[in-house]
Structure 1
Amino acid sequence: MSREIKQEAPVVRKVDISADGRYVLSGSMDSFILWDIMQGKKIQTFHHEDFMSLGIGVAFSPDGKHFASGGKGTKLWDLATRQEIMIFDNDKAASIAFSPDGKYFLYASPGPLPVFLKPKPTMKTFDAATGREIIDFKTQPTPAWEFWAVAYSPDGKYVLSGGTDKMVLWDASSGNSIRTAKVNGVIRAVAFSPDGEYVLSGGTDNTVRLWNAKNLTLVKEFVGHESIWSVAFSPDGRYALSGGIDGNIKIWDLASGSQWKILAGHTGVSSAELGISAKFFPDGKYVISVGDASTRIWNVSTGEEVASMIAFEDGEWIITTANGYYASSPKGDQYLSVKVGGKEYSTEQLRESFYRPDLVNLALSGGSLKELKKVADVKPPPVVAIIDTPKSIDKSDAAITLKVTDAGGGIGDIRLYLNGSAVMLDSTRGVKIVASNRNEITKTYKLKLSSGVNLIKAVAFNADNTMQSTGAVHEITAAFKAIGKPSLYALVIGINEYKNPKLQLNYAVADSDLFAKTLQQGASTLFEKVEVKKLSSTEETTRENILKELKAMQTLNPDDLFVFYVASHGTVDDGEYFLITSNVGSTRTERLKTDAIGQSVFKELISNIPATKKLIIIDTCNAGALGEAIQVAMLTRGMSEDTAMKILSRAVGSTILSASTSLQEALEGYQGHGLFTYVLAEGLKGKADKGKTGYVKTTELADYVDNEVPTLAEKIFKKAQYPTISISGQTFPIGKVR
């Protein structure tokens, strides 16, 4: 799969992995990044006040509690809090390392550049607990770049350094040099074997060398790489890897001396840049590498890329798998393009099919995605244009005409957004064919408008709805006078009793009553009219009746607010999220598709509500077989509920707050309610009004819920509960603080 970065992203030059394989540090020239491999996300970017052309050195402590960063002012950090603990020295550290027992810290500095400044290379060890300098390794006057690379022996007794024309073995306790090996050029990378018997070196003469560690006599040479920037042993000592400026990682069989694997995929690496830096994971099954703007993980046995991680200059990020599934920050997927059928598309256009953080986690944990569809197999989306549509109008509705041209992938759903919120979803394909060109269709939609400027966006999907088109945008100024304040309409649902008695809940109805009452009180003076419709009886909360009530909301106006709240069961099955209604008896997949409300149906109904300000709140429990289904989904490539909510939020242009709790937590409750709804109500009453403006906005409510729910859950249930918060569309006040 071909990718291209569309936003500034720093070239990554240094990398390290924590001893448990969970965390990765990647260093660029003026910053470094901490990644969580287990959760498949970027944790934090750390900026340095200085510029390191070699890249900021990074290293984890052996116990995994701390990490260190080079650059000007070598720093020690606490991993749990990500706070700086101390600064060891102000020299620019090009290479850093912890002793195997974690008690000491070693760094090497080439000294200031350029060469005419007569740099004074330094290499020092410090007490990692106190920061006290222990040894200053003294050297004779040397040319620049004396210390390119350093490494501790596994027993901590020796230090190995690589520099200009030589490699030196040092006594770690005294700082005295023991032995020197001469080479041509500069040694840029050194490493000890796991048993301490051998060392590796690599540098500018394009050769990887295996040496006897005791006397530094040459054992074997590995030729066939361009200028080398990193070397490493596999944990079992059978293999060595090297990374060079040709953009490749080569894995060598140490016994035979032959090349075993080549890992190719980094681009933009040349002699003008630094080469590839790479290391084995602690289990030896994977390799991590950096060298262009990406940090990549490789499967050693297959030689295939598992995932690529990119952090952008503005803080956004994206992780992609080899077949195109991805996890990202809110805007990260806008910055990476992919080629489909020879044409370039934004990753964002694939969001509703390929935004799958759960599958990224599966790939990173060793699972296979080979049987799933690939981005390369996706057919191109159609091309959409808004035609024959006025730019100004003096009434409250307008005819929006679209021309949709098939680009080879057919034509699927068509969606219209008004001021960022979906207000029309057409999945009927009931369109008029243009006689002159059978690849084109046209359709005219009647949209209600807001007074003033209306920004309309139209998108269309390919036939199987796996990829959407680039949005066509049109602006209409409507010069009619708005009458009165907007109104708020809410559909509030709580379901305690189900056809299947095993699904019974204790607090769903009480939660819905609390939310309805709190919303009514907070919104009553803010809107022209507040209409809250509650559904709680078994007759009112069937699939059929809830769908009927949602369809009734299609009469709303663009300036109105729509709030949807439900407390019930929810599950993910066969790759789709289902809201469990009172009529559900069997939770088998085929019955859920007919008896529950599936994500696709829910998305279509919400998208066809004309209100441009929407808030969706879903408080669901996963009990018994349903709870197991969530776990199975995570292990067998099904979509997680968190993923489903985030996809839905972006698709309909609405903010979604959701929580999924276990049966035990749902039955125990808190203060007579479910914890999530209790916190939600407290936020609406005024605790979410951080700015003390007297109003609670949707974004403030989201922040309050996001911060308060995990804290209280940990305190009450001794178990963290993390709500899903996905903000899309417009931000608006939802209530007035009394």
Structure 2
Amino acid sequence: MIGKTQGVFQHLIIIFLLLAAVWVSAAERASFGMIVKPVSDEYARFIGLDGPEGAYVVSTPASGGLRPGDVILKVDDAPIKTPADLQEVIRVHQPGDQVQLMIARGKERVQISYALKSAASSGAGFRPGQAARMPSGLGSFPTIESRDFEKEVLKSERPVLAYFYANWCVPCKTYLPIMQEIGQQHADVKIVGIDVDKSRDIVNRYGISGILPAVILFNGGREIDKVMRVSKKALVDGLLTKIRKDGDEIEVFPSIGKGHWITDVAFIKDSGWLTSRDSDQTIFIWDYRQGALVRTYRAVKSALSPNGAYAALADKNRTAIAVVDIAKQKQSLIQTKLFIEKLAISPFGNAIAGFGAEQNGRFSVNIWTPDNRLIRSIPVDPENNPLMVQFAFSPDGASFALSTLNKLEFFATENWERKTVVTMKGAARVLQFTSDSRAILAPGVDENLVDLQGRKTRGIGGRTVVGRPDARLLIVDNGDNSFRLMSDKSGGTGLRFAGHRAPVNAGAVGDAVRWLASGSSDGTVRLWDPATGDEMVQLLAFGNGEWIVITPEGYYNASARGHEFLNIRRGSRVYGMDQFYDVFYRPDIVSAKLKGDPIAGLVTLTVEEAIKNPPPAVQISFLPDRTGDAKVKVCYRVQSTGGGIGEVRLFQNGKLIKSDGFYREVASQDMMATLKLTQLDGGTVYRDMRSLTIREKQSPGAVVLRAKGDVFEECLEMETIAGENEIGLAAFNASNTVQSAMSTARFLSTRATDEPHLYILAVGIDRYRDASINLKYAAKDARDFLAQLADKAKTIYKPDNIHLTRLIDERAGKSDILKAVEKLASEVKHGDSFIFFNASHGLLLQSQYYIVTGSFDGSLNRSESLISSNEIVEMSKKIKSLSQLYIFDTCHAGGVDAIVSGLYDARMSVLAKKMGLHIYASAGSVETALDGYQGNGLFTHALLEGLKNGAAVDKDKSGAVTVKSLGIYARETTREISNKLGHPQTPLMINFGKDSRLFEVR
């Protein structure tokens, strides 16, 4: 098995090596006539080899004595360490020569005499791994490799079409004339070929998922769009319209293909969860009501049950199987005697099928119960290439189908008797039961629809849509990456669903689910309205743990860095979603869309409206490479590109040090005064956001303090910090809706490092002037956190350099907190660290987050008792420290539902990004706050446990607990305990600043 760095194509071809001499006078050359691959570490251990040596036989001629699964260790006296060694030993032989092979067949070592074949007998067709026969340079346009990619593509003055192909790929040769015709018609476009086997770094970077040929259009050094499976000229013509002057289409798109293609999707009944599985064997659990990734299961080999409720996961050695009840999060373990190649699991989780090699070298399909009992073993004929073996459970769990070369078998799972054997022609590429469990779909064979009695017909093709046993629903590919939804009653027609950029492989519906789900080779799962064909959202998970859920309007929910994989294109211009983060990161809108609610009342701005006013261009003037001065002069220039100039933000080492914009307070004081804190439930917040939308339609972004015209230049003196200084500059358009790409410059300060100081401001409020909202543990939380962190921090800071400020109850009014901040602003230096801890009530109103201070008397008076997110930003700017952490353990009197949590996420994330800092934020209900946990609020309890157990937090054994590692530990601990208590709570850990140490682990 090859490593994951080469795994993009392993499910398509497993990087086969056809062992023949170089293609010259093939009739006179000798060949082994077989397909081999490298031996994996795991298989070497399984059969008792000292290491991954030899050549693993994937397929072989019927005569000759070799079998799939054999490992060739020697040819005559020549040791074979890798498949390439076979090519060397064959050079001295002629067709018909007998060679002696030493092979490993399981744990046995066998010697056989093998007659070499003629290379010509291998056939003249195109085969995986065969020596190149495509014209060098693809005929009329050149092939480039990694070393030339930047020059020929990214820095090209002309638009570039990159044609991704492989020498073993038959369609790549078939569709080559399409690209040649495009080249003749569009002289202003450069076309280059990229051999996927020679340029894997490019393949991985741009997400070519294995569907070949593929084309990516580049312009100005950026990817504009891509198409997988270029089978029609119209697909490429469609790409080129996106860079023409009259191409004004606006499109939001993830960097598709950077994930692996989707093979399975299913809605888990009565759960609110959607499961998907990709070609990298990873299983994703999505909350399709909220639009968020819940959980991920990774394995070397995996399977998902037809209803998505159960998963089977092979361990890294591929000899044990974990059986997972996804909804209940329970697991059991099966120990096998197979080297597992493929898995399947029944819809009830009561039977698990595994295919692989036994230790005697033979292949079989074994069936187990979850309690590790072997039910049946089905031998597989040695003539079968392992890739030909397919098997599946029916959606009702009553049947099991096994497809091998020229044969299809049905078994009854009640007693595992073989019920039907059907003679087929060829081998199925995919095996799926119809959704009514009465027949099998077997693409790749002539008559591809076979019922349980063995009757064969020619079906319409397509893939099964799971979840509706009362109808045979199918997703049928239209050939242009769109699909139509068909049933046995649709009469050959169906509604068209367009949006995927690669073929669709899977579909799902549910009894109580209003959406249709589809999974594609473009790496996305998409939810659709089956009545209209409209796309609701895209769900995309990447191999690095990041994910995105996005609506067609551009509003999205994402992991901490998920937005980095999201782009917006208008014509030939492509923007990163990071430039729209402040406006379009809206988990609450995603949730509303998935509930089927109209979102027009929540939308202050659409992507189409925002992108009409492009962001300005920004540039930082020259800075010295190094300086010993305490201050440097930083000058910068901002120039409009047609959308004007709005707020300008300047960052130092990621932290906001200057900005000239703020979010307006749009709510009238009279309106707010009529509300009570306990009235701010999800419904109120929802209505409030809709009313805000009406007032914000004309100017939804921040307010700037001064007009700037079309060109704005400014200089300021900036204090340096010892070591590397990174200056970042970003500016918004005049309406403050689209941010420019960040411009950065760096210099090294050689000034002496000052002795570091730590400043902690802790606020805890139990007693309010309005006693009806009093809390129980907030004051104690502030005291305990302050004391425990201060004690731990002595491992880094001198005791005299740790400065503590504590504001409790009546001493924690708004004016008290702001005065404390002013005092700290005069003391804290750039190289110091600052931590703000707040345990109190919090609220969301009119797109702002507020801390409810101790002076709150029942009236929502901003000026007297509420500290807004605007004021928190100003606090962070006044305090010079470049290392700041803000912790908000707040209780929401109106309760925390999906709307509150989604908007809370959006506002806190935008706040952290704007400040360039770290934020821990946990929003709980009053009930949860009053209950507490072991003498503290739940989230603070998790933080305190992390401070006590530094070794458990420091999972990477760095010797220190950092801001990021403590946040991860506290989030997971809070989530685990809250689930057990029946009040699920997942804190937000938002990291936009550089990580820093909190204390050393000793």
TM-score (norm 1): 0.79
Q: CA deviation at 1:722?
A: 3.9
Paired residue for 2:100?
A: none
Equivalence map 1:85-484=2 (5 Å): 85-86=333-334, 90=338, 96-98=344-346, 102-106=349-353, 125-134=367-376, 136=378, 147-148=389-390, 150-152=392-394, 154=396, 156=398, 158-160=399-401, 173=415, 175-176=417-418, 178=420, 180=422, 188-194=430-436, 198-199=438-439, 201=441, 203-204=443-444, 216=455, 222=460, 228=461, 230-232=463-465, 235=468, 237-238=470-471, 240-244=473-477, 246-269=480-503, 276-281=505-510, 283=512, 285=514, 286-340=516-570, 342-364=572-594, 366-367=596-597, 369=599, 371=601, 372=603, 373-379=605-611, 380-427=614-661, 429=704, 433=708, 438-482=709-753, 484=754
Equivalence map 1:604-623=2 (5 Å): 604-623=874-893
Paired residue for 1:508?
A: 778
Equivalence map 1:649-688=2 (5 Å): 649-669=912-932, 673-681=936-944, 683-684=946-947
Q: 1:288 to 1:551 in 2, by over 3 A?
A: farther
Q: 1:602 to 1:464 in 2, by over 3 A?
A: farther
2:282 counterpart SS class: strand
Q: 1:155 to 1:421 in 2, by over 3 A?
A: closer
Q: Does 1:558 align with 2:830?
A: yes
The 8 Å contact of residues 167 and 187 in structure 1, kept in 2 or not, is answered as no
The 1-side partners of 2:598 and 2:576 are apart by: 25
**Code of the aligned partner of 1:154:** D
Equivalence map 1:61-72=2 (5 Å): 64=309, 66-67=311-312
Q: Does 1:706 align with 2:971?
A: yes
The 8 Å contact of residues 686 and 696 in structure 1, kept in 2 or not, is answered as no
Paired residue for 1:44?
A: 296
The 2-side partners of 1:70 and 1:617 are apart by: 39
**Code of the aligned partner of 2:731:** A
Deviations 1:95-152 (A, max 9, x none): 7351x5543344678x99xxxxxx9996664445434142528889889976545443
The 2-side partners of 1:26 and 1:337 are apart by: 23
**Code of the aligned partner of 1:674:** G
Paired residue for 2:854?
A: 582
**Code of the aligned partner of 1:617:** I
The 8 Å contact of residues 404 and 442 in structure 1, kept in 2 or not, is answered as yes
Q: CA deviation at 1:69?
A: 6.7
Deviations 1:306-355 (A, max 9, x none): 33233333333333333323333333322332325652122233333333
Q: CA deviation at 1:389?
A: 4.4
Which structure has the highest helix share of the two?
A: 2
The 8 Å contact of residues 316 and 331 in structure 1, kept in 2 or not, is answered as yes
Q: CA deviation at 1:553?
A: 4.3
2:473 counterpart SS class: strand
The 8 Å contact of residues 586 and 906 in structure 2, kept in 1 or not, is answered as yes
Paired residue for 1:59?
A: 304
The 8 Å contact of residues 284 and 293 in structure 2, kept in 1 or not, is answered as no
Deviations 1:444-487 (A, max 9, x none): 233222133311111122334333221111123334445x4133
TM-score (norm 2): 0.60
The 1-side partners of 2:535 and 2:366 are apart by: 37
1:610 counterpart SS class: coil
The 8 Å contact of residues 618 and 636 in structure 2, kept in 1 or not, is answered as yes
More off after superposition, 661-670 vs 412-421: 661-670
**Code of the aligned partner of 2:282:** F
Q: Does 1:633 align with 2:899?
A: yes
Q: CA deviation at 1:200?
A: 6.0
Q: Does 1:488 align with 2:761?
A: no
Deviations 1:205-227 (A, max 9, x none): 89986x77657375x954xxxxx
Which structure has the highest strand share of the two?
A: 1
**Code of the aligned partner of 2:498:** A
The 2-side partners of 1:145 and 1:510 are apart by: 62
Instruction: Percent identity, please.
Output: 21
Q: CA deviation at 1:567?
A: 1.9
Larger Rg: 2
Q: How many residues align?
A: 692
The 2-side partners of 1:367 and 1:136 are apart by: 51
Q: Does 1:78 align with 2:305?
A: no
The 2-side partners of 1:701 and 1:679 are apart by: 9
2:871 counterpart SS class: helix
1:31 counterpart SS class: coil
Q: CA deviation at 1:549?
A: 4.0
**Code of the aligned partner of 2:724:** V
Q: CA deviation at 1:618?
A: 1.6
The 1-side partners of 2:416 and 2:951 are apart by: 60
The 2-side partners of 1:140 and 1:511 are apart by: 67
**Code of the aligned partner of 2:298:** F
Q: CA RMSD in A?
A: 4.3
1:489 counterpart SS class: strand
The 1-side partners of 2:999 and 2:586 are apart by: 34
The 2-side partners of 1:318 and 1:67 are apart by: 25
Q: CA deviation at 1:257?
A: 0.9
Q: CA deviation at 1:614?
A: 0.7
The 1-side partners of 2:386 and 2:932 are apart by: 67
The 1-side partners of 2:562 and 2:897 are apart by: 27
**Code of the aligned partner of 1:330:** A
More off after superposition, 25-34 vs 402-411: 25-34
Paired residue for 1:535?
A: 807
Runs of 5+ consecutive residues of structure 1 not aligned to the other structure: 49-55, 113-118, 223-227, 270-274
The one of 726, 731, 736 aligned to 2:990? 726
Q: CA deviation at 1:260?
A: 2.5
